[in-house]
Amino acid sequence: MKNIGVLFALLIFCEIKCAVASPGDGLHTWKRFNQLSNPGDKAFLYDTFPEHFMWSVGTAAYQIEGAHDKDGKGLSIWDTFNRGGTRIVKGDVGSDSYHNIPGDIHALKLLGVNHYRFSISWSRIFPNGSVSSYNEKGANYYKKLINRLKEIKVQPVVTLYHWDLPDNLQSRYGGWGNPILVDLFKEYADFCFKTYGDDVKYWITIDNPFVIAWHGYGTGKVAPGIKTDSDLPYRVGHNLLKAHAAAWHTYDKHYRAKQGGKVSMALASHWVQPIRARHENQRACQCSLDFVLGWFARPLFVDGDYPPCMKHKLSHRLPVFTEMERLHISGTADFFALSHSPSLSFQLNTSFLFGQDEELDLRRLMYWIHAEYNNPPIFVVESGWFVQTTTKTKDATCITYLKRFIIDTLKSIRYDNVTVIGYTAWSLVDGFEWHREYTIRRGLYYVDFNTPDLRREPKTSATFYSKLIEKNGFPLLPEHQPVQGVFPCNFAWGVAANSIQIETTPTQFADPSVYIWNISGNGELQRLEGVQAPPVRRVRHCLDYATIRQQVSDVQRLRVSHFHFSLNWSSITPTGNVEEANATLLGYYLCFVGELSRANITPVVTLWHHTVGRSSIPAPLEGGWQNKETVWVFADYARLCFQWLGAHVKMWITLAEPNEETLGYVAGHHLLLAHGMAWRVYDREFRPTHGGKVSLVLHMDWVEPAVSFSRQDVEPVNRVLAFRIGWFAEPIFGSGDYPALMRSWLQHRNSLDLFNYQLPTFSEEERQLVKGTYDFFAINHYTTVTVLDSTENKYTYTKLLEVQFVYDATWIKAQDAWVVPFGLRKALNWVHSHYKDVPIYVMANGVKEDPTQFKDNMRVYYLYNYINEALKAHILDGVNLQGYFAYGLNDLLDPGFGMYGYVQDEVFEKASLSHYRNIIDHNGFPAPESPPQQCPRPAKPCSGCHILAKHSVVGFLSLLGSALVITMGLTLYYATRKHS
């Protein structure tokens, strides 16, 4: 009869649960996120958290308390574990929080959190693990801590067990492998509820039972370090669940009504992505999560039993719950306490991935929990990142990951309707990091372990977190919103390509074969074998080149006004001698720019483009740009190009992206002289007749401070920009010399590196040659990087500039770059502020994407947002922006960057092409209600008009002759008509 009652109760419970939850619904998570817009869904979300959101920070007793044998405390399994084997580093002192409650309270107050998660050391209150060994001094330590928290209005979130089992329970009973610990833990929990419960509203019974079971009693990586029985982890997990349930029921029965608190178990998990978009791969991902998270979550939140996947794969190895135990365990969690941290990767055995890929994605994990367990309220009770132990207070990497996880949490709330009630940054202070000991740091506060008082100092991550809490998120500011408006009427819309397709034989007349129509058959042409037509004796025309017609047509379909491409110096003058120039190739280029002009497209031509590994310098020029002779050879080459092409080319680029750091300072000096000399040649010999403009293009990706809380944080940015941009910009657009910051910094470095860095000096003649040789300021801009003047990662540290480059984990990642639209606006403003009112052109701006994708959504997003930032610079900041060129035209010449794609020799227009064309048609982003922009239509080009303008006599005689011919024709026509 008793069993029937239990079965009936269990049946009723399951019916209630099934009415609102369907275990396995988390399987839809992968499909859902695959259908979200990309990259729009990955963009930074500017918004705030719900009004009563819980902002917390956390610690664990063994990591920070120290005082391992003070005031009657007993040994824990970690005290013993760290004294065994070859381990020499111990957590005996930690951060010495036991003796420094005021220091921790001060740190919490500065952070501005409203909750503080800490754990109680079981062996500090009960040295041998049983209530009979009560230690009053240990219990009073936590009373004092809670009272101090009340004074600063911070609510405690208390963990009863964070991995530090009293060693006596391990040595006497075998630890969590013995069911006797269930009752012992229940007694310990009962004491804590009774003693501290009036001031505690959130309880966590056990932290991360997966690590305890699998690595404490399976792999032996953490205390107690047992690895002798492959089935023991499952028995340990079984007992941990029963111990948690016993504590929960104790609270529910004796304390909940009076204290009004909530109890849960902190569960941790990875995230896993299917290697293929197949149902079986998604099933494998689901099973992977069940083996780590579902192992404990399903018994608590669903039906009191293990996931079917575990039961199927483990069979008899997995303990079995009785019906009474299932009923006792199910529903014993008042909220979902989620732990998410960098230690998760170490927790996994690759066998738990079932052939799939592990990823770092808190948002998807929370949605999976939301779907799988019927939308429980989620409290993120541990989240954060780490830096190496050598990093002190500038922990930029921690900031980026902290921001990323918080953004994931915000998107879960705003986009996914997941109920998230709080977030806990880990941890408050640096401490003993378990199996990693002191090799990493995770604290928001730096602890100097070499000082007697273990002095605490806020890191930049602490400043970031406190400001975030103060604003309750990331409020939307005007600069974050797209701007509406249009560019000036004469704005230059262009497209850029590194080169053009060359075909110096006219394809229209290259085939001498004779063909006939197959009239009776399919109507196709058939070639007559052995018969050839006589050679065609006619003058070649530019339209004979099919490649020119095709390329000009491709550019026309974009409806741009300008097309930018580079010449091939080594092909035009293979020996470097202009007397031996390739006239055929020059003729092809002349045809190309001529056809562009006839199509009303302005050619923008670069003489030399530095592309790493593919720069076209004539081979005979020994030493390349290291040789000063190259300067004069380049000037002759420039003159040759001006002579051949200048009538059609009104915008010239002497050098594109010469500011490549690997070229070195001597080569850079010669490049500046070469540019100056070429500019002077044009200005003196060709400008009066051609009326064009000449400048150079600098590669200018933006540099943002990785941390930006003081003026000092901007110094590494200024240093990098001086070396990357000012290196070429200041001699031409500014003083005629290299930036003062550049010279002074190299003097500093030379004192350290025995004069390894020699920056050339301009003679007065060279200064006058170079200074002022510009008609506009042109940049190529693609992405942004952050920088700081400390070392977190030696692989991204630059010794010369003493800076480290860091990428923000919240930025959208494209194929080989980060998408950071605001960087373009800041780059334009930098130029504007340093060289007032100079006309600026963005000569190349684009992103690489899978060339096989018709819907290049990343490029569509990129173009819209980067162009909008350029519009902000023009409208809001007063930047004299004259033009914008998208990069590039097609994938054939610029693989992955093109707006035309190729699949099996078939050309197709990508989505970005029509998107860019639409922006051009509207000349920006006009407000819907605004009237159309009134721009005068450009006059159609008149071939031959320039001759009439320059030679008035010839013009007059030509007009007179034309009138005479027309008059004679009309006379003959009417005379013939009258005669008829």
Which residue reads 């107050």 in tokens?
A: 109
Shared fold status for 25-472 and 495-507+539-656+673-694: yes
Q: Does residue 242 have a pLDDT over 60? A: yes
CATH class, domain 495-507+539-656+673-694, is alpha beta
- pLDDT value of position 535: 64
For the segment 379-431, what is each residue's pLDDT rounded down to a tens digit? Answer: 999 999 999 999 999 999 999 999 999 999 999 999 999 999 999 999 999 99
For 616-636, the three-class secondary structure string (H helix, E strand, C coil) is: CCCCCCCCHHHCCHHHHHHHH
Question: Could you tell me which residues are beta bridge partners of residue 609?
Answer: 656
- pLDDT value of position 959: 60
Determine the Cα–Cα distance for residues 283 and 135; give it in Å rounded to an integer: 50
- pLDDT value of position 949: 47
Q: How close are the terminal C-alpha atoms of the chain, in Å?
A: 127
Between 43 and 85, the higher pLDDT residue: 43
The identity of residue 298, as a single letter, is R
* pLDDT grade for 11, boundaries at 50, 70 and 90: very low
Cβ neighbours, 10 Å, residue 535: 8
For the segment 148-201, what is each residue's pLDDT rounded down to a tens digit? Answer: 999 999 999 999 999 999 999 999 999 999 999 999 999 999 999 999 999 999
For the segment 670-715, what is each residue's pLDDT rounded down to a tens digit? Answer: 999 999 999 999 999 999 999 999 999 999 999 999 988 878 889 9
CB-based contact 484:926 (threshold 8 Å)? yes
Helices (H) and strands (E) in the chain, counts: 35, 34
Count Cβ neighbours within 10 Å for each residue of 784-805 and write b for 16 or more, e otherwise: bbbbbbbbbeeeeeeeebbbbb
Q: Identify the architecture of domain 25-472 in CATH.
A: Alpha-Beta Barrel (3.20)
* pLDDT grade for 536, boundaries at 50, 70 and 90: low
What percent of the chain lies above the pLDDT cut of 70?
89
- pLDDT value of position 546: 87
Dihedral angle sign, alpha carbons of residues 821, 822, 825, 830: negative
> What's the average model confidence in pLDDT over 464-483?
95
Q: Does residue 719 have a pLDDT over 80? A: yes
Structure tokens at 845: 């701006």
Q: What is the largest CA-CA distance in the chain?
A: 138
Q: Distances in Å between the alpha carbon of 956 and those of 689, 942, 953, 969?
A: 21, 17, 5, 20
The identity of residue 386, as a single letter, is F
- pLDDT value of position 507: 61
Q: Where are the domains of the chain?
A: 25-472, 495-507+539-656+673-694
CB-based contact 653:697 (threshold 8 Å)? yes
pTM of the shown model: 0.89
CB-based contact 551:609 (threshold 8 Å)? no
* pLDDT grade for 371, boundaries at 50, 70 and 90: very high
CB-based contact 262:201 (threshold 8 Å)? yes
Determine the Cα–Cα distance for residues 169 and 380; give it in Å rounded to an integer: 30
Q: Does residue 9 have a pLDDT over 70? A: no
Of the listed ranges 219-223, 235-239, 638-642, 913-917, the least confidently predicted one is: 219-223
- pLDDT value of position 14: 44
Contacts of 384 (CB under 8 A, 6+ apart): 341, 342, 398, 401, 402, 405, 425, 426, 427, 442
| Closest to 289 (Cα-Cα) out of 241, 358, 239 | 358
Q: Does residue 805 have a pLDDT over 50? A: yes
- pLDDT value of position 550: 93
Of the listed ranges 3-7, 98-102, 312-316, 833-837, the least confidently predicted one is: 3-7
For the segment 243-296, what is each residue's pLDDT rounded down to a tens digit? Answer: 999 999 999 999 999 999 999 999 999 999 999 989 999 999 999 999 999 999
Of the listed ranges 478-492, 907-921, 942-956, the least confidently predicted one is: 942-956
Between 1 and 819, the higher pLDDT residue: 819
CB-based contact 162:60 (threshold 8 Å)? yes
Q: Does residue 20 have a pLDDT over 50? A: no
* pLDDT grade for 758, boundaries at 50, 70 and 90: confident
The mean pLDDT value of the chain amounts to 90
Please spell the DSSP secondary structure of 259-295, one letter per residue.
H--EEEEEEE--EEE-SSSSHHHHHHHHHHHIIIIIH
Where are any strands of DSSP class E within 364-410?
378-383, 387-388
Determine the Cα–Cα distance for residues 2 and 19; give it in Å rounded to an integer: 26
Structure tokens at 320: 């079995």
| Closest to 268 (Cα-Cα) out of 347, 186, 177 | 347
Please report how many Cα atoms fall inside a 13 Å half-sphere around the Cα of residue 721, on the Cβ side: 20
Q: Distances in Å between the alpha carbon of 418 and those of 296, 333, 388, 421?
A: 20, 17, 34, 10
Determine the Cα–Cα distance for residues 149 and 141; give it in Å rounded to an integer: 13
* pLDDT grade for 825, boundaries at 50, 70 and 90: very high
| Closest to 374 (Cα-Cα) out of 287, 298, 313, 268 | 298
